[in-house]
Amino acid sequence: MTQEKIMKGRMIRAIVLFVITLIALLIFIGLYIDETHRVQETYRAQFNNYLIKTSANIDSYLDAEGDLPLRYRRILSDYSSANSFAFVMTGLTDDQKRTVNELQTCMMKYPEQIQKKDTLEDIRTAVTDMSQNLDKGYDEAAKVVDSINKKGF
């Protein structure tokens, strides 16, 4: 064999290996993107699930006559879980994430104001709309946050 044929063979092998590597890289990028979408769908499902639980717990709180502190802690727990998922989701805007977080902060810091019947009904409406992926739910939650007297009771 001549030197020229050896070099051509090596170049052909190098090109074939490059093409195979490129194809493998593209496949792995596609799998990564697919898995990222799947994880985001799981986050969205969990976010919606906790919002639905929060709404159900608010109904339970409003209908109950006893053990209200426990029922309020359940509302706060489920909404806190939804808030945690909101921050890892890519489908929410920064304003929506901030609204979800501010509502949780108000629920934790000002339970006396939140536990009023009208306020809880407004929160239930907002949470239900958020679970249905409606933008008006975030606006309703922002209105509840704005209605809270943050300087005291």
CATH 1.20.120 fits 40-147, yes or no: yes
- Given the structure tokens 């006559």, which residue do they identify? 65
Tell me the pLDDT tens digit for each residue of 84-140: 999 999 888 999 999 999 999 999 999 898 888 899 999 999 999 999 989 899 999
CA-closest candidate to residue 55, choices 122, 9, 4: 122
> Length of the chain in residues, anyone?
153
Q: Per-residue confidence at 19, pLDDT binned at 50, 70, 90?
A: very high
- Kindly tell me if the per-residue pLDDT of 153 is higher than 60: no
Distance separating alpha carbons of residues 47 and 56, to the nearest angstrom: 14
